[in-house]
Amino acid sequence: MAFLADILSRVKPSATIAVSQKARELKAQGRDVIGLGAGEPDFDTPDNIKSAAVEAINRGETKYTPVSGIPELRKAITEKFKRENGLDYEVSQTIVGTGGKQILFNAFMATLNPGDEVIIPAPYWVSYPEMVAICGGNPVFVETTLEDEFKLKPEALEAAITPKTKWLVFNSPSNPSGAAYSENELKAITDVLLRHEHVWVLTDDMYEHLVYGDFVFKTPVQVEPKLYERTLTMNGVSKAYAMTGWRIGYAAGPLQLVKAMDMIQGQQTSGACSIAQWAAVEALNGTQDFIPKNKEVFQARRDLVVSMLNQASGIDCPTPEGAFYVYPSCAGLMGKTAPSGKVLETDEDFVTELLESEGVAVVHGSAFGLGPNFRISYATSEALLEEACNRIQRFCANCR
């Protein structure tokens, strides 16, 4: 009898974590490596948030918290949704988890039965399908295209829905593509969902505040209030507030679902870190002045990377509207021979040879369900990004 669970055969390790680990290992060996795989801001957590955590420690806020979060944070969450998204939730409809991952995992665990289908547009964040698989569901992938800016088309969504469909996972702005949906694009998607009352929406708004130019962020239930009773809106403090290591995610949705997620979390981790929760209260309630400043920095980095990548032979890089990633195509290099003599047959070949030849660590697109592409995180300094793009240009020029 096998000791490990059969379900592990359906699950793959995180490619983004693997790339970051590989880059760390090569650096430890003395290699000059520029790691562009990590999905976290390089900014420090703002001082007011850090101070709130210190004050919480000094007040003795070091005990277990309620499973769904401290009342002060849950109230701040309802106020955030009202203030920024025009959404009305009761405190009882909110839940706080140890990062956005736990929120998503609990939602799937609370709702999926064997054979239930979850529609996931590709490219997708690497953890979505693995979470669905662990919870016994079947991920159903709907591919998007570079020509459509990696956005799900309503007719493609319609075609993917079956009587077994339970969820649509919706992520805007997107990790890995940076694609963000306008209000009109969202309305076209929600119109499809209105015709299929058995399909719920799990919307991942983690990159809400990182949109550029004159783009205006909207979340699905904001565009179509009729979806209120079958939408779980997930968010967190990790990206906009540079709090990745604090591990605080949150969501609001129908009370029945939130109660089920609370029950699962109560048997799993109980409440999230008390100090991190008090820091998150300050993040949501305190000054937001640094967000526009950080966005300006990110936008300048995005423009630099897009410009330089489009000057690389065989690379086609669209300009994303949000997040801090680009998702260029490397189709123009497929079939060519890398400097090592290796023929580039897949995007995984491309990123492997790029790392070995030039010391630039990026993530292959097939890990996100759509290739031949690769993902670059531009959440690092302009100097490093410029050097990395120069190396990518050189690598591409040397592929024959």
Cis check: omega of the bond before 123, within 30 degrees of 0: yes
pLDDT, tens digit, 9 for 90 and up, residues 357-398: 999 999 999 999 999 999 999 999 999 999 999 999 999 999
Single out the residue of 176, 154, 125 nearest to residue 320, CA to CA.
176
Q: How many Å apart are CA 36 and CA 53, to the nearest integer?
A: 30
pLDDT of residue 198: 98
Task: Assess whether pLDDT exceeds 80 at residue 16.
Answer: no
**2 Cβ contact list (under 8 Å, min separation 6):** none
**Considering the domain 6-44+290-397 in this protein, what is its CATH number?**
3.90.1150.10
Kindly report the pTM of this predicted structure: 0.96
User: CB within 8 A of 71, min separation 6: which ones?
Assistant: 91
Q: What is the pLDDT of residue 152?
A: 98
Long-range contacts of 193-199 (CB under 8 A, 24+ apart): 193/157, 193/168, 193/220, 193/224, 193/227, 194/224, 194/226, 194/227, 195/158, 196/161, 196/165, 197/230, 198/163, 198/165, 198/166, 199/119, 199/161, 199/165, 199/166, 199/167, 199/168, 199/230
Type of residue numbered 83: R
CA distance 87 to 107: 20
**What residue segments make up the domains of the chain, in order of their start?**
6-44+290-397, 63-285
pLDDT at 178 over 90: yes
Between CA 124 and CA 177 the distance in angstroms is 8
pLDDT of 20 strictly over 80: no
End-to-end CA distance of the chain: 51
Sign of CA dihedral 28, 29, 34, 36: negative
The pLDDT assigned to 80 comes to: 98
Nearest residue to 197 via CA among 215, 234, 224, 179: 224
Counting residues of the chain whose pLDDT is more than 70, the rounded percentage is: 100
Average pLDDT over residues 24-44: 89
Beta sheet of 231-236, edge-to-edge order: 94-97, 249-252, 231-236, 200-204, 165-171, 117-122, 138-143
The 10s digit of each residue's pLDDT in 260-301 is: 999 999 999 999 999 999 999 999 999 999 999 999 999 999
Residues 80-97 pLDDT 10s: 999 999 999 999 999 999
**pLDDT at 7 exceeding the cut of 90:** no
pLDDT classification of 353: cutoffs 50, 70, 90:
very high
Rounded to an integer, what is the distance from CA 101 to the centroid of its chain?
Answer: 9
* pLDDT > 80? residue 17: no
Mean pLDDT of 117-121: 98
How far apart are alpha carbons 224 and 207 in whole angstroms? 20
Among 17-21, 337-341, 355-359, 381-385, the least confident range: 17-21
Which two structure tokens, joined as six digits, stand for 41? 């801001």
Q: What's the pLDDT score for residue 378?
A: 98
- Identify whether the C-beta of residue 123 lies closer than 8 Å to the C-beta of residue 287: no
> In the numeric block, which tokens belong to residue 217?
């962020």
β-bridge pairing 117-122 and 363-364: unpaired
Give the right CATH number for 63-285 from 3.40.630.10, 3.40.50.2020, 3.40.640.10, 3.40.50.2000.
3.40.640.10
Lowest mean pLDDT among 4-18, 273-287, 337-351, 371-385: 4-18
**What does each C-alpha distance from 153 to 126, 131, 294, 329 come to in angstroms?**
21, 24, 31, 20
Strands 231-236 and 325-326, sheet pairing: unpaired
Residue 134 has pLDDT above 90, yes or no: yes
Across all residues in the chain, what is the average pLDDT?
A: 96
Phi-psi region of 286 (alpha: psi -120 to 50; beta: other; left: phi over 0): beta
Please give the pLDDT value at position 151. 98
User: How many helices (DSSP H) and strands (DSSP E) are in the chain?
Assistant: 13, 12
Say what percent of the chain tops pLDDT 90: 91
Q: Identify whether 372 is preceded by a cis peptide bond (ω within 30 of 0).
A: yes
Of 226, 237, 262, 290, nearest in space to 107 by CA: 262
pLDDT over 90 at 101, yes or no: yes
- The span from the CA of 26 to the CA of 356, in Å, is 10
pLDDT in tens, 137-168: 999 999 999 999 999 999 999 999 999 999 99
Residue 25 has a pLDDT of: 85
Q: Is the peptide bond before 66 cis (omega within 30 degrees of 0)?
A: no
Helix (H) or strand (E) holding 397: helix 382-397
